């Protein structure tokens, strides 16, 4: 998707701070971190949102959660804990329409999700 900011980062057309890459997924550091560690786990394939996924994406979604867990471990978050969050659609607070999982940690996060 030529006009998708995350597709442009994945394609190397604009800079991204890459933490991890494999054949299906990439992880970058969030440009506006909400915690000392704030990573974004996303598929290389352009999928706009969680609501666009179905049974055909089950393996990919499982892989993205697995990668989130692995990068949390490599960033030293496993022992103290961290949060994985997905914003979906307008009322879900999703600003970038390329599906991504936020991995947040390195401080005490509030119990509220609202």
Q: Catalytic: 100?
A: yes
Selected binder of ligand AMP within 7, 61, 84, 96 (CB under 6 A): 96
Binding partner of residue 1 among Zn ion, ligand AMP, none, CB under 5 to 8 Å per kind? Zn ion
- Are 99 and 28 in contact by the 8 Å Cβ rule? The answer is no
Token digits for 38?
């704030």
**Which helix (H) or strand (E) covers residue 84, if one does?**
strand 82-85
Binding partner of residue 30 among ligand AMP, Zn ion, none, CB under 5 to 8 Å per kind? ligand AMP
Q: Does 44 bind Zn ion (CB under 5 A)?
A: no
Q: In what order do the strands lie in the sheet with 101-105?
A: 18-21, 25-29, 37-43, 101-105, 82-85
- Number of residues engaging ligand AMP in binding (CB under 6 A): 12
Just list the catalytic residues. Answer: 100
């Amino acid at each position: 998707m030529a006009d998708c900011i995350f597709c442009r980062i994945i394609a190397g057309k604009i800079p991204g701070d890459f933490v991890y890459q494999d054949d299906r997924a990439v992880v970058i550091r969030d440009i506006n971190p909400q915690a000392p560690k704030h990573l974004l786990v996303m598929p290389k394939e352009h999928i706009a949102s969680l609501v666009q996924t179905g049974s055909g994406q089950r393996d990919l979604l499982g892989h993205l959660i697995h990668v989130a867990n692995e990068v949390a471990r490599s960033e030293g978050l496993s022992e103290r804990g961290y949060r994985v969050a997905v914003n979906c659609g307008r009322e879900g607070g999703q600003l970038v329409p390329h599906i991504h999982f936020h991995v947040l940690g390195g401080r005490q996060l509030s119990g509220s999700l609202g």
